[in-house]
Amino acid sequence: MSSVPKIELNDGHSIPQLGFGVFQIPPEETAEAVARALEAGYRHIDTAQMYGNEREVGEGIRASGHDRAEVFVTSKLSNASHRPSDASEAFDETLSALGSGYVDLFLIHWPLPTRYDGDYVSTWNALEQWAAEGRARSIGVSNFEVEHLERLAAECDVVPAVNQIELHPYFQNEEVRRYGEVHGIATQAWSPIAQGEVLDDPAIGEIAERLGRTPAQVVLRWHIQRGSIVFPKSRTPARIEENFELFDFELGTEDMGRIDALDRGESGRNGPHPNEFDMVPS
Ligand SMILES: NC(=O)c1ccc[n+]([C@@H]2O[C@H](COP(=O)([O-])OP(=O)(O)OC[C@H]3O[C@@H](n4cnc5c(N)ncnc54)[C@H](OP(=O)(O)O)[C@@H]3O)[C@@H](O)[C@H]2O)c1
């Protein structure tokens, strides 16, 4: 079984560079999918309060027989719970749903600059508190733009350990990724294969065929070589295994450059823009 490199975070903890994402896996399928992923070798699961499947992530880990300490678990604060008192209640619910006294990494899922009077700073202060208590081993953000990160840097004590952002060959989100690199914030690439959209790209297809790999493996390997953390999602057992087989081949400089050149800038973005996204679940 291949071994997954670890990325050291700015707080001294480390995270497996490859994990398994459970967005859009229905709760009734999640425990089994997580157990399968652990069997395939993954030791890092990415969930969120808004995915509605934290409890089943905890169940899947317990059913696998692996110690809790062997698996790195990330969850994220619901957009409904940014006020510090709500956040605190929601965080307790996450720990209870996971059946664990701590979470390895906890993120603010979206900055929501047009909600809560634009105050994600007091929300971040709540995460700082849980980190100080050891209930969140590491804390970070998701979908934060440079201006949001700059505000945290100016007004808060703790620099986020990670920023989880949309990033794939068609939308490389370079300005935000670069800010993270310069300021010691690890980049996590969500939708790393653009939910499948990039897999039909002729350049990726050509590289995959030449190397005897699948397009998904080529794209995920590109992320790994750029230093991003990835957690592809799949409900399909064969793909869960396929997406884990990334550490017995390498992309050469030329192939890396060809994939870099696929960036479409803003028009390659599939998800909402973080400055505008304001969805709050009821
Ligand atoms: N922070 C955020 O705001 C945010 C937003 C989105 C996602 N995320 C995180 O990022 C994770 C991954 O992103 P994502 O789920 O949006 O998209 P993704 O991982 O880029 O793509 C998932 C899609 O690709 C298919 N797929 C997976 N492996 C494949 C393969 N080897 N060959 C062909 N198709 C394949 C899956 O189909 P099947 O499932 O049918 O196999 C699914 O439809 C999420 O699960 C979540 O943890 C975070």
Treating both helix axes as pointing N-terminal to C-terminal, what angle do 253-260 and 202-211 enclose, rounded to 10 degrees?
A: 160
pLDDT in tens, 197-221: 999 999 999 999 999 999 999 999 9
177 Cα: distance to centroid of ligand 1 (angstroms): 20
Please report, in tens digits, the pLDDT of each residue of the chain (282 residues total). Answer: 568 999 999 999 999 999 999 999 999 999 999 999 999 999 999 999 999 999 999 999 999 999 999 999 999 999 999 999 999 999 999 999 999 999 999 999 999 999 999 999 999 999 999 999 999 999 999 999 999 999 999 999 999 999 999 999 999 999 999 999 999 999 999 999 999 999 999 999 999 999 999 999 999 999 999 999 999 999 999 999 999 999 999 999 999 999 999 999 999 999 999 999 999 998
Q: Are 230 and 17 in contact (CB under 8 A)?
A: yes
Using an 8 Å Cβ cutoff, are 107 and 138 in contact? no
Q: How far is CA 112 from CA 146, 186, 256, 279, in A?
A: 14, 21, 34, 8
Query: For residue 210, how far is its CA from the centre of ligand 1 (angstroms)?
Result: 25
Q: What is the largest CA-CA distance in the chain?
A: 55
| Among candidate residues 151, 160, 154, 232, the one with its CA nearest the CA of residue 193 | 232
How many whole angstroms separate alpha carbon 243 and alpha carbon 254? 22
Task: Specify whether the CB–CB gap between 30 and 60 falls below 8 A.
Answer: yes
pLDDT of residue 1: 55
* Ligand 1, atom nearest to 196 Cα: 24
From the CB of residue 27, how many other CB atoms can be counted at a distance below 10 Å? 15
Rounded distance between C-alpha atoms, residue 188 and residue 163, angstroms: 6
Distance 22 CA to ligand 1 centre (A): 8
269 in contact with ligand 1, CB cutoff 6 A: no
* Residue to mutate, 44, 54, 168, 193, ligand 1, most ligand atoms under 8 Å from C-beta: 193
Q: How far apart are CA 46 and CA 76, in angstroms?
A: 9
Work out which ligand 1 atom sits closest to the CA atom of 142: 1
Encoded tokens for 119: 């105050």
What is the DSSP code (8-state) at residue 162?
A: E
Cα–Cα distance between 215 and 209 in angstroms, integer? 8
Q: Which of 42, 51, 120, 179 is catalytic?
A: 51
Please give the pLDDT value at position 23: 98
Helix (H, G, I), strand (E, B) or coil at 112: coil
> What's the pLDDT score for residue 2?
64
CA atoms of 200 and 209, how far apart (whole Å): 12
- Ligand 1 atom closest to Cα of residue 216: 31
Residue nearest to atom 23 of ligand 1 (CA): 195
Residues in the chain: 282
pTM: 0.98
Distance from Cα 277 to the centre of ligand 1, integer Å: 20
pLDDT, one tens digit per residue, over 113-129 is: 999 999 999 999 999 99
Does 51 participate in catalysis according to the annotation? yes
- For 110: left if phi > 0, alpha if psi spans -120 to 50, otherwise beta; the answer is beta
